[in-house]
Amino acid sequence: MKKKIFVLGLMIFCFIGLFAQRMVTGIVRDVSDNNATMPGVAIQVKGTTRGTVTDVDGNFSIRLQESDKELIFTFLGMKQKTVSVGTKTVLDIVMEPDATILDEVVISALNISRSNRSLTVAQQRVNTETLSEVRDQNIVSALAGKIAGVMVTPPPSSTGSARIVIRGNSSFTGNNQPLFVVDGMAIDNSDGSVSAGRDGGLDMGNGASDINADDIESIDVLKGPNAAALYGSRAANGVIIITTKKAKEGRFKVSVNSNTMFRYITGWPEFQNSFGMGHNNRMVENVSMLITADADGNPYPYPGIPNMIEINAKGSQGGRSNGGPMIGIPYIGLDGQMHTYSPQPDNVYGFYQKASTYTNNIALEGGNVENNYRVSLTNFQADDVVERQNLVNKNTLTLRFFNTLTKKLTLDSKLTFIDDDTQNRRYANQSSFNPLYMYTILARSMTLDQLKNYKTPEGRETVMVGGIHNPYWSINETGNQDNKMRIMANFDLSYQLLPSLRATVKYGRDYINTNKTEYRNKGALGGGSDAAGYYRRQYNITDNSHYEWLLVFNDRFFNKDVSILGTLGGSRLDYNGSWLNASLESLKQAGFAHISNSDVRPTSDEDVLSRKRLNGLYGSLSVGYKDFVYVDLTGRNDWSSTLPKENNSYFYPSVGLSWLPTEMLGIPSRLFFGKLRTSYAEVGNDTDPYRLLPYMDLGSGNIFGGYKYVSLPSTVPNNHLKPERTRSIELGADLRFLDGRFNFDITYYKSNSFDQIVEADMSYSSGYSKRIFNAGEIENKGWEVAVNVIPVKTRDFLWSMDLNYTKNESEVISMVDGLEEIQLGQIFDFYNVLRVGLPYGSMYGSKWVTDQQGRLMVTANGSPVKAENAYLGNFNPDYMFSIGNRFKWKNFDAYLLFDMKKGGKLYSGTMRQAIRNGVIAGNEKEKESYWKRTVIMGESGGADDVWGGTLVSNTYVYDPAQYDNVRDMNPVDPNYVPTPFNGYLWPGNVGYWADAYCSEVTYDASFIKLRELSIGYNLPKSLVSKIKMSRACISLVGRNLWILYQNTPKGIDPEAALNAGNGQGMESGSMPPTTTFGVNIKIEF
């Protein structure tokens, strides 16, 4: 009986509960699209976490309780709409575009969402619409031209490291790149190009290149210390905040994105096809280079047939195209076969191929507002323009869960698993094993087939070309492989203590395990490990953990006139790294890649450990009054384990003010909106581990008699180091006109970084090479302008433009007393240095002397006058500018991005070598004249011979008595005019000897590029709904499609670089300009 009464009571209770609820249905339309229905609109019951989403036809249904009064409708790009339900059961909702985006919500420091109008600092959001369509292998490269104040240098190779700098370089020799924060957790973005120097090495790629474009929801850029003060010492160079996707809709959804891209070399140098292999305008210099009979003893015509093996082996001049005219003379080639000494205009092109990348992503999501999930799997495969180089197979799995554990307690979890297998990363820059270098060397008379027989039956390399290993030997007999497993985990547990107060505890971990091998077979020509062979095995582990607690208070008071947003938090960051290496420099057996295959004792470094801890306490307070004035205050104190006890605690504050006069005066925002802002900030920075006290080093080079020994490091430590400091001020204005059709944001900034932690050279007699100091100051100041314009907007057509302008000026204010310069990089006799009074990255090298009017100075016999260590400029651009255009017409959309850089210098080691090797066009007439007079007519160029060369205009005879010195060239007599030189210059002085003058291969690095292009078509909703799709789009896409303007020679990319380090403005052996285009298909169910 009791059971029956209980069941009856339960049924009555449920009936009453159902009776107290009602079902509300409706449809949502877009007023700007002829009232078309809107799928995917998020609907939330106000004051609760309950909600739903519209289906593919824009319809929805939701069950409301008696206490539910209002529904909130939200969709990206549309104004949020709150609707009072009352007693209605059917709703017809019309949403309007949010053209003004004045109340756009952005992600600010500590991953806190804030209204754009309340920000007191410069912050810019990247439009991510085309990020997964116009793809780049490195997400950093994809940011080029999209943010004011940001300079991106693309990686030297497809698997290499990209460089990104915000508002100039603030550290002399330390890290100048911003902090990357993904979903609130800082990730490792180590520069993988540190081992790729001028003479070679492998570029392992930067850490941020692991970020998957398919998972990105938004990117916000915090510029400089003012915006990033709460992140502490890691953020002195700004912050890139990336928010990844999570489930938004209350239904099961499947997204598929497939991208195929092809990459071609399109910017070849201009090759000459007149002179072939040889030296001094002769194919054969003596009879030892001739073969008089064939293998059977049959004589060749007198005096014999040129032997290209002997010609190619002529010391440092071997293999160059500085020989005689190619007029079809027969010769014995490098392959032992008969060939003719004739132009081979396509020989270089045949070595390179089309590179391909294939990216396929599938994402599943579902759940409701309280509990949802998103699972994303991406496979990426790629090859390179050189056969068997840079082969990548990469899988990324991302799991994202949001769970409402109780009414007030939520858990946001994300796990990302990355398995990256890369084979045969190309040797960098001037490495003799870099096959890409071949286009600067291969003689214009040589067929490519002569190199394909690269190995003798005994396993020896057959021939080197111009000091570079046979490229077929390099791609077949050398190799490397690295397998990287990376796990990035985020867990955010939040509890709503009060309606206005939320507490969050966070845990994040970034774990990277890399297993690397490198192998070079024995048998290569040359000495050392080239001939003996080489094998290396290396294990690297990076394990960074992030612990954080955070209180966030957000409420309004005094009739909602006063808004208060406050934070209080603390964090602990643990950085752990280990490195295990074993190598051998002589192989016992050719063709066997294993650490046991050694002729000598292997060299091993047993565990090298690196540990660092950074603790921090921080807080912020933002107070607004009537939404027209906001004051921001922040403060942070860090404790770093890498600084001495008396200096390891450092505090830095910031203060900001924004004022909205139009809001104060009641001017309608659709007519005009204005915001003025100013801020001041300080931020500190620590140093690397183990720079305070001496330690015993068991380095790889510490071997004597086959045994390891320990030694002191060559750098004197400093146990009194202080943290580096940066102080920055910022002024800005944000202006919007014509209902958001014209938006203008301008910022002026000035930052000074001082107490630089630098390594200064010491006398070797001290027993050390360097010493660590706190000294030096650098200043960066400049302007940033970001403009968004909508020139045309109709029912069917939309055209919007984004313009970004950047101008940064840097100056080294001071350095260590007694130190003249700090070297950032070097190629040959070219140097990239820091000097007081000059910009960061000043360039010095040998120069063909000119006077103050730009007249070239030569000696009385016509030889160029040379100045050593002369100032050649700096690598920083005068300014940068970009224009992005977006078009939408009915179901079509298009995007074009033009990117421009004005000024800055680039030293080209590639062009130096190409000129030296005689493969570049430009001096054919001079060579012909010289050949006729010296070879045919027998002239020697003496006083009685008027032998040919080149008559260079603007050349004058240098009289050292008339100038103060050869560098400054200030005339003793202001009215002095040098005597014009009317003779001929030896062609070597303006041709293949031009490598002796750095100034002749240092170019203006200005450019204008069509950086991105996308043309897409969205299948009509009426069609895709019939096949149960919510969206289907196909796009033709391309990157770096056209260099509209450049001052570097053809074949030299103005953005080329050795690596991603601080020594920019120089390249050698870099990739010629390439173009990438393909197709992207996106489908949603």
Record the tokens describing residue 967, joined without a space. 């560098």
Record the tokens describing residue 797, joined without a space. 């057509």
The pLDDT score that the predictor gives to residue 705 is: 67
Record the tokens describing residue 984, joined without a space. 């001929």
The pLDDT score that the predictor gives to residue 14 is: 39
Same domain, 196 and 70: no
The pLDDT score that the predictor gives to residue 941 is: 53
Alpha-carbon span 867 to 206, nearest angstrom:
38
- 837 in any annotated domain: yes
- 109 in any annotated domain: no
Same domain, 450 and 595: yes
How distant is the alpha carbon of residue 128 from its chain centre?
Answer: 17
Report percent pLDDT > 90 for the chain.
Answer: 59
986-1007 pLDDT, tens per residue? 666 656 566 788 998 999 999 9
CATH of the domain at 62: 2.60.40.1120
Q: Coil, strand or helix: which one is 440? A: helix
CB 699 within 8 A of CB 711: yes
Same domain, 90 and 197: no
- 271 in any annotated domain: no
> For all residues of the chain together, what is the average pLDDT?
88
Alpha-carbon span 149 to 164, nearest angstrom:
10
- Answer whether residue 578 shows pLDDT above 80: yes
18-30 pLDDT, tens per residue? 344 688 999 998 8
In this prediction, residue 96 has a pLDDT band, given cuts at 50, 70 and 90, of confident
φ, ψ of residue 355 in degrees (nearest 5):
-95, 150
The pLDDT score that the predictor gives to residue 959 is: 95
Report percent pLDDT > 70 for the chain.
Answer: 92
* Helices (runs of H) and strands (runs of E) counted in the chain: 11, 59
Same domain, 196 and 86: no
Record the tokens describing residue 407, joined without a space. 């009414």
> Which region among 458-467, 499-508, 932-941 has the lowest average model confidence (pLDDT)?
932-941
In this prediction, residue 666 has a pLDDT band, given cuts at 50, 70 and 90, of confident
In this prediction, residue 427 has a pLDDT band, given cuts at 50, 70 and 90, of very high
- 243 in any annotated domain: yes
> Which region among 316-330, 375-389, 954-968 has the lowest average model confidence (pLDDT)?
316-330
DSSP letter for each residue of 46-59: TTSS-EEE--TTSE
Non-local CB neighbours of 799 within 8 Å, separated by 6+ positions: 790, 791, 792, 793, 885, 886, 887
Same domain, 186 and 90: no
Same domain, 691 and 795: yes
CB 1080 within 8 A of CB 179: no
Taking the CA of residue 822 as centre, how many other CA atoms within 13 Å lie in the half-sphere pointing to its CB? 31
Rounded to an integer, the average pLDDT of 940-947 is: 46
Nearest to 1005 by CA among 916, 837, 810, 873: 873
Element (DSSP H or E) covering residue 989: helix 987-990
Element (DSSP H or E) covering residue 218: strand 216-222
727-746 pLDDT, tens per residue? 999 999 999 988 888 999 99
255-294 pLDDT, tens per residue? 999 999 999 999 999 999 999 998 878 888 888 889 988 8
Domain boundary among 72, 95, 118: 95
Q: Which neighbouring-strand residues pair with 579? A: 540, 608
Q: Is the peptide bond before 303 cis (omega within 30 degrees of 0)?
A: yes
- 189 in any annotated domain: yes
Task: Please give the tally of structural domains in the chain.
Answer: 2
- Answer whether residue 10 shows pLDDT above 50: no
Question: Residue 789, exposed/middle/buried by CB under 10 A (0-12, 13-18, 19+)?
Answer: middle
Q: Which neighbouring-strand residues pair with 282? A: 279
Give CA separation, 204 vs 189, 424, 540, 840, 967, in Å: 12, 11, 12, 26, 41
Record the tokens describing residue 69, joined without a space. 């009064």
Rounded to an integer, the average pLDDT of 390-417 is: 96
Same domain, 754 and 888: yes
User: Residue 442 is part of which domain span?
Assistant: 179-265+353-841+876-912+1005-1084
The pLDDT score that the predictor gives to residue 524 is: 94
CATH of the domain at 455: 2.40.170.20
Same domain, 439 and 538: yes
- 144 in any annotated domain: no
Same domain, 670 and 778: yes
Same domain, 494 and 631: yes
Domain boundary among 95, 117, 134: 95
Q: Coil, strand or helix: which one is 657? A: strand
The pLDDT score that the predictor gives to residue 945 is: 43
933 or 160, higher pLDDT? 160
1026 or 661, higher pLDDT? 661
Q: Coil, strand or helix: which one is 913? A: helix
Nearest to 375 by CA among 357, 362, 385: 362
Same domain, 84 and 201: no
- ∠ CA(659), CA(802), CA(1038), 5° rounding? 150
In this prediction, residue 317 has a pLDDT band, given cuts at 50, 70 and 90, of low
The pLDDT score that the predictor gives to residue 519 is: 95
What single-letter DSSP state applies at residue 44? E
- Answer whether residue 947 shows pLDDT above 50: no
Q: Coil, strand or helix: which one is 1075? A: strand
- Answer whether residue 1040 shows pLDDT above 80: yes
Same domain, 184 and 84: no
Rounded to an integer, the average pLDDT of 789-818 is: 93
Nearest to 549 by CA among 618, 643, 610, 461: 618
Rounded to an integer, the average pLDDT of 834-839 is: 95
The pLDDT score that the predictor gives to residue 52 is: 85
Record the tokens describing residue 22, joined without a space. 């009602």
Domain boundary among 40, 74, 95: 95
Element (DSSP H or E) covering residue 930: helix 924-931
Record the tokens describing residue 905, joined without a space. 């210098």
Alpha-carbon span 280 to 259, nearest angstrom:
51
The pLDDT score that the predictor gives to residue 249 is: 64
- 860 in any annotated domain: no
Alpha-carbon span 22 to 88, nearest angstrom:
10
E strand spans, 626-700 = 629-640, 649-659, 672-685
In this prediction, residue 11 has a pLDDT band, given cuts at 50, 70 and 90, of very low
Rounded to an integer, the average pLDDT of 243-250 is: 82
- Answer whether residue 539 shows pLDDT above 80: yes
CB 60 within 8 A of CB 54: yes
- Answer whether residue 119 shows pLDDT above 90: no
- 457 in any annotated domain: yes
